[in-house]
Structure 1
Amino acid sequence: MTLHINQISVRQVKGVSAPKEPELHAFGVHTVGDLLEYYPFRYEDYRIRELSAVKDGEKITVQGKIMGEPVLQRYGRSKSRLSCKVAVGQWLVTGVFFNRHYLKDQLEPGREIVLTGKWDQRRLQLTVSESEFPGSKSAKSGTLQPVYSVGGSITQQWMRKTVQQALVQYGMMVEEVLPRELVAQHELMPRREAIMRIHHPEDTREGQEARRRMVYEELFLFQLKLHAYRAWNRERKDGVSHKIDNEAVLAFVRQLPFALTDSQKKVTNEILHDMRQPYCMNRLLQGDVGSGKTVVAAIALYAAVTSGHQGALMVPTEILAEQHLRSLQRMFEPYNIQVGLLTGSMTERQRRDVLGGLQMGLVQIAVGTHALIQDSVVFRNLGVVVTDEQHRFGVNQRSVLRRKGMNPDVLTMTATPIPRTLAITAFGDMDVSTLRERPKGRKAIKSYWVKHELLERVLGFIRREVSAGRQAYVICPLIEESEKLDVQNAIDLHIQMQQAFPDYKVSLLHGRLPAAEKDEVMRQFGINETQVLVSTTVVEVGVDVPNATLMVVMDAERFGLSQLHQLRGRVGRGEHQSYCILIADPKSETGQERMKVMTETDDGFEVARRDLELRGPGDFFGTKQSGLPEFKLADMASDFAVLEQARDDAAELVAGEDFWKLPEYEPLRERLVREQIFQGDLLD
C-alpha cells in the first residue's frame, strides 16, 4: 500500500536530523505533507532591476562590473567597511560592505557581480546585504525567494533548502483533492503545480495564482466539513421534535407589555420552525445591544415547556444570571412555570433544592452560569439549551450542557454582531437569525470622545443628568490581566466620584464583591437609590436599568471596540435621551480609530465590521476557545469573496446525490470520515 504524504514522517526528508525534528514539530510540521503546506508569508525579490526605476531607500538587486581596486577600512578589532566602484548600466555606484573584509580578494576589477541592498539615491551608494557572482551554485539573482516563519536553530536558509528537498523527494506524490469540475470552473492551478509554485514562483503573478488555488482549497475543504455536518445532522432525525401549541405561544406573546418588532417576529418564527423538526436545532441569534434577544429566548423556552420539556439558559456572569432569573420569573409567573437559578456562590441548601427540582421535573427552566454543566446537574427532560454571549464559553463547556439532554435544540445568542465573514466561518454549521431593529421608541445614543483635561466638564454633565432624576455609570478601565489591580483602580475611582458628588449616593460594583453584595448594589441602582454606579466591566453584558442615561468610560482607549459598544448598550433603554462619553488620550492610531468609530456610528454591525478590520479575526472574540479556525493561508478579511464562493460550491456539492455516491468523490468522503465529521457533537 502506498503511503500518503500526510502519513510520511518529516524525518524522512533528507537533511532533517533528529535534533531538528522536534523543532519542526513546534511549528506544527510533523509529516511531509505538513512541510509542503508550510507556506512562505512573503518573498524576497532578487530580480535584477534598472536603477532608473528605483526609489531612494528601496531594497534592490542590481548586476554590474567591478571597476578599480576595493578599499578596506578597519575600525577597532572586529569592525570594517569595504567599498568598491561598480558600473551598473550607465551608472557608477559605490557598493559598501560592512564587516565583510574577507570579500576583498574576490572583488577583482573587471569581474561581474550581483549586489542586493538598500539604495541611497543622493550618494549613488548601495549598502550591500547580500552579494554573489553570476553562475555560482547557490545564485539567487533573478528569483523570488520564499520567506518562512522560522526560529530556534531553524534558519531561513535551512528551511528553504529543506522545503526544496521535500519537493524533489516527494513532489510527484502530491495528489489533487478538489473535484475536477471546480478546478476547471475557477481556472485553478493543479494542486501539484500550485504547491511547487507557491514555494518557488517564477514571477509575482505565478505566486499569486498558486496562492489563489491553495486559499480556495483551504476554504472549500473547511466549508465542505461544515455543510456535510449540517446535512448529516439533519438526516439523523434524532433531535427533540417539539409539539408546539401555537395558540398558547400567541397568548404568551400578546400578554407581553410591549409589541414585538417585525425582526423579533421573524426570528421567533425561524426558531419555532426548527424546534418542530426532528433534527437538532443549531441556531445563532445575533442582534445589537438592546435589540430584544432575551424576549425571543423566553418565547423559545416557553414553547419548550408547553410541549412538555425543560429549558436551560447559560450566561457568563452571576449578575446576568440573576437578572435573567428575575425577568423570566416575571414573564412566567402567570403560567405557574418554575424557574431555578444555579450559580457558584449559592448555598448548598439552595443548590440541593434546585437540583432536586430539575431531576424531578418540578423546575422547568434552569438559569445559571457554568455551574449548570457540573456533573451533579441532571435534567428530567431537557428540550432546549440557550447560551447567551456564547463567545464567553469554550466549545467544550457548551457541548457538556448540550449532552445533559437527548440531543436538545440549541439556541446560541450574542450581542456582539458578527461580520458576515466570521459568521460564515466560525458559525458555518449553524443557521443564523439576526435582529436588526431597535424596539420602538428607543432613541439613538449620542456618543462623545473627550480628552482627560475636560474631566471637570464631564463631571458637570453627570451632575446635570443626575439632578434631572437620571442615573449614570462610570466605568473603570482594565489596567492589566489582574483582577486585584482592577479592583483597586475601581476603589480609587469610587472615592474620587464620592468626593465629586457628595449630595448623591455613589456605589461601587466589581467582580470580587460577594454575590449578595453585588445583588444589593444592583438592586439599589435599579430602583434609583444609587445615582452613580462606579463599576468594572461586570456591567458590560445585559444589565438593564432604563433610568440610566449616561455611560462614562474612563481611559476608553484600553477597551476594544466591541467592548465599548457593549458598555454603551447599558444606556438608551428608557424613554429619555442617553449619552456615552469616552474619556481617552490614545497614543496609537488604532486607539484613535476606535474613538472615531464609536462617535461616528452606534450600529453594532458597522462597529463589528470596523473592529474586524482593526483587530483581525483571531482577536475578534478575545478567546482561543471561540471555535475560530486557524487557516494556513486564507485571510478572512481579504479573501472574503473566495470564502463566499467556496461556501456556495461546498453547499451545492453536498446537496446533490452524486457527492455521496460517485467514486470520484470518494477521497473527499474519506477525508470527512477521517476528520470525524459524522460522530455527533463535534462541531459546536
Structure 2
Amino acid sequence: MAIHLFTIPINQLQGVGSKKSEELHALGIFTVGQLIEYYPFRYEDYQIRALHEVKDGEKVTVQGSIASVPVLQRFGGKSRLFCRVTVDGLLLTAVWFNRNFLQSQLVPGREITLTGKWEQRRKQITVAESEFPDQGVMRSGTVQPVYSIAGTLTQAWMRKTIERALTQYGNLIPELLPEELVAKHRLMERREAIMRIHHPENTREGQEARRRMVYEELFLFQLKLQNYRATHLKQHDGLVHLVNNDEIRDFVSKFPFELTAAQKQVINEILHDMKQPFVMNRLLQGDVGSGKTVVAAVGLFATVRAGHQGALMVPTEILADQHMRSLQKIFEPFGITVGLLTGSVSGRKRKDLIAALQMGLLDIVVGTHALIQEDVYFRSLGLVVTDEQHRFGVQQRSVLRRKGMNPDVLTMTATPIPRTLAISVFGDMDVSTIRERPKGRKPIKTYWVKHEMMDRVLGFIRREAEAGRQAFFICPLIEESEKLDVQNAIDLHMQLVQGLPELSIGLLHGRMSADEKEATMGKFAAGDTNVLVSTTVIEVGVDVPNATLMIVMDAERFGLSQLHQLRGRVGRGEHQSFCILIADPKSENGQERMRAMTETDDGFEISRRDLEIRGPGDFFGTKQSGMPEFRLANLLLDFEVLEQARDDAVALTAREDWWSSPQYHLLREQLQRDSNDVVEPLD
C-alpha cells in the first residue's frame, strides 16, 4: 500500500477521537493504512436462502410473514417467545429466548426476516437476529465483515469507520503486484480487492478478494526471504571446509550400525554445503529417533578435520550431558576432544574449559544457552549445530553464530512438516529431511485410557518390570508454574511408591540440582530404577534403550507434538514399547489430540494434525522462530498459494531488472517498509 496511507494518523478520520484512537492503538492500528489493512477474520452471511437448501442445524437467513399471535412463556428469570411464520409456503415456528420486548412487534401479516439455527425435524428456527423490512436499513441479503475488536469498539463502529476510510482515501491504494502476476493468477485489482474484502456483495466475491490478498501477503513474505537469500546467503564469505571423503568414510565405518539411505543423503547435502565458499544455513528435520544426532556428528567431525571447532547447543542440561557423553564415545578413537558447558559448570572447571576453547585445545563443545555468554570465545568456530531450534529465540541462535567468522549453521528439529511446506516457510534455509526409521525400530503401540483405569496401568508397569524393562511416568506442567509442577511430580511419586512397593521408583524434576539430576538419570540408565517419575525435563533426546513404557498423566494438558516427543523416549531398544496416555479431555481439541496419538506414530502426520488443530502461529512458535503472523493466510489451507508465491518470488528476484526497473518501485518500497517484519535470519 502506498506509503502515503501509512503516514496519515488514524485520528484524522472523522469519528475517531482520542478515546477511540487509544483503543485502535491497542489493536496495532496507528495510521489510516493500517486500518484499511485490518481485515475481517470472518463474515456473517445474511444472504436469504430457500429452506430446502439448508441442512439441519445450519445457520440460515429467511424472509417470510408472521402467521400467528406471539406467545410469551416465562420460567425463572428467563423468557421464551414464539410465533408461527410462513416462509416459502411452509409454516414454521420462530423462537426467541429472552427477547420479550419483541412481543408487541410480532403482528400477524407483518413481513419479517429471521436469522438463526434451522431445526428441520421440528420445523423451527431458534432466532439469533430478526429484522422488519418496513423499518428501513437491513442486514438481510448482505455479507457482513466481523473484526477482532476490544474495549468499547463495536462491529458496527468498525464497519462504519473502515468504510469512511475507504471512501476518503481509497483512491490512494496502488497496485503492488506486477501486471503479469495479476494476469497469470487471474487476481482482482488491488484496490477492488481491499474494497471487496471489507464489503463483499456475496460470499463468492469475498472469497475472490481474499484470494487476491492472501496471494499478495504470501508473495511479499516470500519476496523478503528470496531477497535475503540473494543478498546474504550466497555471498562468498563463508568458511570453505576442505573435507577429505576417505576420512569421512572411515569415520562412518566405525559406527556400530549402518546408516539409513536417508541419513546418507542428508550427510551428502551437508558436506556439499560445507565445501562451498558461502555460509551453510540448513534445517535438518526428522522424526524422533530418526538419527539426526549421528548426522550432526559427521558434520562436526568434518569441521574439526578441516581445522575448525564445532558447537552443539541444546535446550536442557540433561540432553547436553547425554550428547556430550555419546559424542565423546564416537570421537575418542579419532583424538577429537569434546567438552560440556552448561549453567552448572562453574568455577575453575568453567575457566579451564573457556580457555581451552579460546586456544583451540578443545575441538567440540556441547552446551545449553551457557554457550552464548559474553566471555565464551572460540579460536575458530566452523560449525554451529542447534538442536530443537524452536526452544531457542532468534537472538540466542544469532549470538552463538556471531562467535565465529561466518560459521556454517545446521539447525535440527524433531517437529517435522512436509518438506515442500518447510522450504516455503523457512525460505532463508535449505531443508534436509530424514523420513526413514533406523533398521530394527518397532512401531510404538499407543493407548488412551481414563483415570479410573490407573490400577490396570500399575499392573502393566509391574509386568514390564518383571520382564526386566523400565518405565517413564510423566507429569504435566500446570499453569506454567515450576513449583506446582514439582509438587505434582512429588505427589505422583508417593502414589507409585505406595502402589508399587516392590519396585524402585525414581523422581526427576526441574528444581533438582544438576548433580541430583545426573545421579537420578544415571541410576535409571543403569537399570537400578524401575520407574522414573519426571516432569517434562526428559521430553527431548533422553535415550534409555531398556525403557519400553511411556506413561503420560493428564495427557490432555500437553500439545500433540510434545506428546509425540515424549513417546519418542521409548522404542529405542529391541523390545516392543508402549505409550499410555491417561486423560479425560473435555475439549474437542483434547480429544482430537488423543485420537491422533493412537491412530499414527508418524511424526509428519502428527505435525500435520497439530498444524490443523493449533493453527500456524502457535505451531511454528511465532515469537520464538521470528516468523510473522499472517493477517489472512493460513499455511495449511493456503499451501498451494504459498508454493505459487514462492515460485513467483524466486523468478522475480532472479531478474536483473528487479533491482532497478521503475515497474517494481512500489514493490521494493513495500519491502523496505516491511523490513522489520521479515523472518529474522541467523546472523
**TM exceeds 0.5?**
yes
Map of 1:200-211 to 2, 5 A cutoff? Answer: 200-211=199-210
1:576 and 2:575 correspond: yes
2:551–2:579 Cα contact (<8 Å) kept: yes
- How far is 1:370 from its partner? 0.6
Letter in 2 for 1:662: S
Letter in 2 for 1:605: F
- How far is 1:166 from its partner? 0.6
Aligned to 1:326: 325
Deviations 1:324-358 (A, max 9, x none): 11111112222322222111122222111111111
- How far is 1:567 from its partner? 1.3
- How far is 1:273 from its partner? 0.9
Aligned to 1:146: 145
How many angstroms apart in 1 are the aligned matches of 2:572 and 2:108?
A: 81
Aligned to 1:216: 215
Aligned to 1:9: 9
Aligned to 1:487: 486
Distance 1:425 1:27, change over 3 A: farther
Map of 1:558-597 to 2, 5 A cutoff? Answer: 558-597=557-596
Q: Tell me, what secondary structure is at the counterpart of 1:628?
A: coil
Q: Tell me, what secondary structure is at the counterpart of 2:601?
A: coil
Aligned to 2:354: 355
How many angstroms apart in 2 are the aligned matches of 1:171 and 1:657?
A: 33
How many angstroms apart in 2 are the aligned matches of 1:7 and 1:205?
A: 33
Deviations 1:74-129 (A, max 9, x none): 999x999999998766568888887685996x999987665656678868788573
Map of 1:79-158 to 2, 5 A cutoff? Answer: 90=89, 127=127, 129-133=129-133, 136=136, 138-158=137-157
1:34 and 2:28 correspond: no
1:421–1:640 Cα contact (<8 Å) kept: no
Deviations 1:415-450 (A, max 9, x none): 122244752454221111111122222222222333
2:474–2:536 Cα contact (<8 Å) kept: yes
Letter in 1 for 2:281: N
1:425–1:628 Cα contact (<8 Å) kept: no
* % same residue: 67
Letter in 2 for 1:42: R
How many angstroms apart in 2 are the aligned matches of 1:422 and 1:429?
A: 13
- How far is 1:149 from its partner? 1.6
Q: Tell me, what secondary structure is at the counterpart of 2:431?
A: strand
Map of 1:542-561 to 2, 5 A cutoff? Answer: 542-561=541-560
2:564–2:597 Cα contact (<8 Å) kept: yes
Deviations 1:627-675 (A, max 9, x none): 3321111111111111121122212222333423433223223333444
Q: Tell me, what secondary structure is at the counterpart of 1:582?
A: strand
1:242 and 2:241 correspond: yes
- How far is 1:9 from its partner? 1.9
1:229–1:677 Cα contact (<8 Å) kept: no
Distance 1:107 1:296, change over 3 A: closer
Q: Tell me, what secondary structure is at the counterpart of 1:158?
A: helix
TM-score normalized by structure 2? 0.91
Letter in 1 for 2:363: Q
2:628–2:678 Cα contact (<8 Å) kept: no
How many angstroms apart in 2 are the aligned matches of 1:412 and 1:430?
A: 9
1:391–1:623 Cα contact (<8 Å) kept: no
Q: Tell me, what secondary structure is at the counterpart of 2:33?
A: helix
Letter in 2 for 1:33: G
Q: Tell me, what secondary structure is at the counterpart of 2:144?
A: strand
How many angstroms apart in 1 are the aligned matches of 2:81 and 2:449?
A: 55
1:339–1:365 Cα contact (<8 Å) kept: yes
Map of 1:448-487 to 2, 5 A cutoff? Answer: 448-487=447-486
Distance 1:236 1:583, change over 3 A: same
How many angstroms apart in 2 are the aligned matches of 1:120 and 1:251?
A: 73
Deviations 1:372-404 (A, max 9, x none): 111111122111111001111111111111111
2:545–2:573 Cα contact (<8 Å) kept: yes
Which deviates further from its counterpart, 492-501 or 149-158? 492-501
Distance 1:134 1:33, change over 3 A: farther
Letter in 2 for 1:259: E
Aligned to 2:445: 446
Letter in 2 for 1:348: G
Q: Tell me, what secondary structure is at the counterpart of 1:4?
A: helix
Deviations 1:512-564 (A, max 9, x none): 11001111111122222222222111111111112222222223222222112
Aligned to 1:509: 508
Distance 1:55 1:412, change over 3 A: closer
Aligned to 2:497: 498
Aligned to 1:346: 345
2:424–2:646 Cα contact (<8 Å) kept: no
Which deviates further from its counterpart, 312-321 or 378-387? 378-387
How many angstroms apart in 2 are the aligned matches of 1:170 and 1:407?
A: 47
Letter in 1 for 2:30: H
1:81–1:101 Cα contact (<8 Å) kept: no
Distance 1:383 1:72, change over 3 A: same
Aligned to 2:19: 19
Which deviates further from its counterpart, 457-466 or 342-351? 457-466
- How far is 1:322 from its partner? 0.7
Deviations 1:553-603 (A, max 9, x none): 223222222112111111121222222222333333333332332222222
Aligned to 1:605: 604
2:507–2:532 Cα contact (<8 Å) kept: yes
1:228–1:677 Cα contact (<8 Å) kept: no
1:114–1:134 Cα contact (<8 Å) kept: no
1:96–1:128 Cα contact (<8 Å) kept: no
Aligned to 1:378: 377
1:64–1:114 Cα contact (<8 Å) kept: yes
How many angstroms apart in 2 are the aligned matches of 1:407 and 1:641?
A: 35
Aligned to 1:174: 173
How many angstroms apart in 1 are the aligned matches of 2:186 and 2:552?
A: 52
Which deviates further from its counterpart, 373-382 or 452-461? 452-461
2:401–2:682 Cα contact (<8 Å) kept: no
Distance 1:141 1:379, change over 3 A: same
Map of 1:665-680 to 2, 5 A cutoff? Answer: 665-676=664-675
1:281 and 2:280 correspond: yes
Aligned to 1:430: 429
2:635–2:642 Cα contact (<8 Å) kept: yes
Aligned to 2:263: 264
How many angstroms apart in 2 are the aligned matches of 1:314 and 1:546?
A: 23
How many angstroms apart in 2 are the aligned matches of 1:364 and 1:142?
A: 72
Aligned to 2:43: 43
Which deviates further from its counterpart, 573-582 or 507-516? 573-582
Aligned to 2:231: 232
Aligned to 2:187: 188
Distance 1:297 1:107, change over 3 A: closer
Letter in 2 for 1:154: L
Distance 1:75 1:520, change over 3 A: closer
1:310 and 2:309 correspond: yes
Count of equivalent residues = 679
- How far is 1:616 from its partner? 1.9
Please report the RMSD computed on the Cα atoms of aligned residues, expressed in angstroms.
3.2
Distance 1:311 1:63, change over 3 A: same
Unaligned runs of 5+ in 1: none
How many angstroms apart in 1 are the aligned matches of 2:679 and 2:181?
A: 29
Which deviates further from its counterpart, 231-240 or 164-173? 231-240
- How far is 1:621 from its partner? 4.8
Letter in 2 for 1:302: F
Letter in 1 for 2:20: K
